[in-house]
Structure 1
Amino acid sequence: MIEKGKIDARQFTILVVMYTLGTSIIAIPSTTASYAQENAWITVLLTSLIGLLIVFLLNQVNKINHHKNIFELFEYVFGKWVGKGITVFFLLFVFIVAGKNLRQIGDFMTTHVLVETPIQVIMLIFVLTSLYGVKLGLEVISRTGEIFFPYAFFSLVLMIIFVAPQAEFKNIQPIMVNNTEGAFLTIFPTLGTPYFELVVFLAILPYVNRIGPGKKSFYIGVGIGSLLLFAVTLMSLLVLGPDFSARNVYPTYILGKKISGVQFLERIEILVAIAWFFTIFFKITINFYVLSLGMSHLFNLKTTKVLSTPLAFLLIIAGLYLAPNLIAYQNFLAHDLAPFAGTFGILLPFILILTARLRKINKKKKKRRKNKRF
């Protein structure tokens, strides 16, 4: 293995939570409300349950050989050259997702926080910070997650608590009477991020020091992240209303602005924004790390440090040109991400499991034939 470090189940849980929240905490309330309207919370609830089934599928992939990461599994199951070919396409997927995430944080910052700062500067700062983490390795990324996770988690929880008194249940009524079809049709696009993207953790799961607790922590991490996504989406609908949530690109940020009445808690939305910076930073860093790990495996390098620096600058270029503006990114999120990510997050794991089992059956048959001969 290229990565020599090990993390514990708790650290893995934190990484999964941060990744699950990532861009989703600020994007899902808007995208789901656009189609499901007042039933958007039901859409998020159903996708959360499906998300846990996806984790079950990914754990089954790891069961093929829990000592190997996903890039090693490709070659173990499909053979060296086919495996390397699949690795190339998988890395392209991770690269595109990381570039899009980088663009999203750049758009948010230039729209709401650092309005006069060039987006290239913001993206450069984020990438260089992620690059530093990738060079230090998985253990350092995990320990950093332990430091920032409490702030991100409790900021979101406190926001939900403080805006709860402003909730109006008429905003989600009548339940499943209007827009019923939209509530179910939106499930697939909503799965695109973060649930289909969770496949990247198959590159990290083998480095959890105890694989049994590691698999359980996968469920726990997705469960906690999904619960927060559900709560934020529900609160966006109850406080802002489905129409406003659908029309605004960043309803979670606007939700933070609704916290008022206590003088020292004014302008708390910037704290919510900082919490989101942490979650999206870890999502970008995890994708960047998996990308570096996969590239190192592809070219038979002994360390991830060699290619990480050029990859960092390629990510900036990708972020600028893959999504030239906010509208293009929103269209990608709503229409293209789910089938694209689903190919690697659902279809590929199914093929891996099926191929591995067929090979296992063939080996048993060959062994029986040999035994019969003797």
Structure 2
Amino acid sequence: MVQGRISAFQLSILMFQLILSSSVLLMPSISTALSGKDMWMTPILSSALGFFTIWMVLKIHEISPNGSFLELLETTCGRWVGKCFSLAFILFQIHIVAITIRDYGEFIVTNFFLKTPVQVIIGAMLLLCAWVVKSGIEVMARTGQIFIPVITLCTLVICILLIPELDPTEILPIFERGAAPIAKGTVVVAGWFCQLSLILFILPLVKDVKEVRKWGYLAVTGIMLMMLIANLTAFLLMGESTAFFNYPLLTASRYIAYAEFFEHVEAVVMMVWVLGEFFKISFYYYAICKGLEETCRVSKPEALVLPVCVLLFTSTFWLAKDFQTVGDFIAVSGTLYILAGNLIFPLCIFFVARMKLRFKMNQT
């Protein structure tokens, strides 16, 4: 992998797409099933965890040797225990991205390329991601600066074109089933926001780390607004039947028809999904390679790119057998699993490291 440096602004763009890539299409269905008419509140409430995650990773970065979380694990827990924790944390990220890759493949095959083997779709994406990961984080960030605004604009245009079809009364009455369903939906959506902890691998490569807090908070705000727009668009169009569609925004886009020639814009949704997943998978891919490089002290990090590509390809079919498995994982046990790995584990390491530092300071 080519070593490079990126700015806090570039990191915020990658963070923005890291969360939105899969959530915009999947989240309306899941949050409707859990929260009913109040599903639109879930991004607003869960964004608090996004702000907390940014605060947490920056605090960890401040006390980490050379800003590296994996080095902090070794200094806090001891060399070998720390390496075991590092490898476990990396394996956890492999599991999460394997589910993301399988979801991407199933979406493309189910909705567009019905006769194409899912292995071909996934293999092509991983090879493209391998190319950008080998080129380095700087290439990934510059590519994001070009394409992520296009992805965002296309998503907004689809939602705007659907405005005449929307029925604002669908969200009434508010708090119809009380606070408990809203809390359940909020926890699931929070599972997306806590994935921002993945920037622990990238922060040592940021030139202006002091600016990350500002740009990180802006990214979380932007993510929350886009989630809110996607949720409202899907729900105001389809009501509580949103819960019965795997990809509500794709279904909603098929309602767009103007002057009998501007229609079939679901191809734009496919473009948004493909580009969005490209950046998300590449971000995870790079973080995994970077983590293995630091943990195993690899002298030639570019040698990791192809083996990790093969590992991701095989784990995609081993860990996520079909879309039903993926959907059940996200909506049920997966959220707690993701929160434990991306939030609770780093938070525990942070508290232990702080206590150890205070103990050393008291001794001196």
Range into which the TM-score falls when normalised by the shorter chain: over 0.9
- Structure 1 residue ranges (4+ consecutive) displaced by more than 6 angstroms after TM superposition: none
- 2:163 matches 1:164: yes
How far apart, CA to CA, are the structure 1 residues paired with 2:334 and 2:122?
21
Greater mean alpha carbon deviation, residues 255-264 or residues 113-122: 255-264
Write out per-residue CA displacement over residues 302-321 of structure 1, whole angstroms, 9 at most, x where no aligned residue.
24311210111121111112
Q: Name the counterpart of 1:353.
A: 350
How far apart, CA to CA, are the structure 2 residues paired with 1:11 and 1:265?
34
Write out per-residue CA displacement over residues 227-286 of structure 1, whole angstroms, 9 at most, x where no aligned residue.
10111011111112122x100000011122122124453111211221121111111111
Aligned residue type for 2:333? D
Q: Name the counterpart of 1:203.
A: 201
Q: Retained in 1: the 8 A contact 2:31–2:185?
A: yes
Q: Name the counterpart of 1:371.
A: none
- Deviation, 1:3, is 6.9
Q: Name the counterpart of 2:135.
A: 136
Aligned residue type for 2:83? K
Q: Retained in 1: the 8 A contact 2:35–2:181?
A: yes
- 2:210 matches 1:212: yes
Q: Name the counterpart of 1:339.
A: 336
How far apart, CA to CA, are the structure 1 residues paired with 2:292 and 2:144?
24
How far apart, CA to CA, are the structure 2 residues paired with 1:164 and 1:97?
34
State the identity %. 26
The 5 A counterparts of 1:268-283 are 268-283=265-280
Q: Retained in 1: the 8 A contact 2:46–2:186?
A: yes
- Deviation, 1:66, is 7.7
Q: Retained in 2: the 8 A contact 1:20–1:195?
A: yes
Q: Name the counterpart of 1:242.
A: 240
Q: Retained in 2: the 8 A contact 1:41–1:234?
A: yes
- 2:67 matches 1:68: yes
The 5 A counterparts of 1:244-259 are 245-259=242-256
Structure 1 gaps, min length 5: 368-374
Aligned residue type for 1:154? L
Secondary structure, aligned partner of 1:178: coil
Q: Name the counterpart of 1:53.
A: 52
Shift in CA distance, 116/363, structure 1 to aligned 2, threshold 3 Å = same
Q: Name the counterpart of 1:90.
A: 89
- Deviation, 1:78, is 2.5
How far apart, CA to CA, are the structure 2 residues paired with 1:3 and 1:68?
19
User: TM-score by structure 2 length?
Assistant: 0.96
- Deviation, 1:34, is 0.8
Secondary structure, aligned partner of 2:116: coil
- 2:20 matches 1:21: yes
Secondary structure, aligned partner of 1:213: helix
Q: Name the counterpart of 2:299.
A: 302
How far apart, CA to CA, are the structure 1 residues paired with 2:163 and 2:203?
37
Secondary structure, aligned partner of 1:186: helix
Greater mean alpha carbon deviation, residues 305-314 or residues 120-129: 305-314
Write out per-residue CA displacement over residues 319-351 of structure 1, whole angstroms, 9 at most, x where no aligned residue.
112111111110111112212111222212221
Greater mean alpha carbon deviation, residues 302-311 or residues 135-144: 302-311
Shift in CA distance, 268/298, structure 1 to aligned 2, threshold 3 Å = same
Greater mean alpha carbon deviation, residues 68-77 or residues 135-144: 68-77
How far apart, CA to CA, are the structure 1 residues paired with 2:219 and 2:77?
30
Q: Retained in 1: the 8 A contact 2:108–2:270?
A: no
Q: How many pairs does the alignment contain?
A: 364
Q: Name the counterpart of 1:227.
A: 225
Q: Retained in 2: the 8 A contact 1:107–1:326?
A: yes
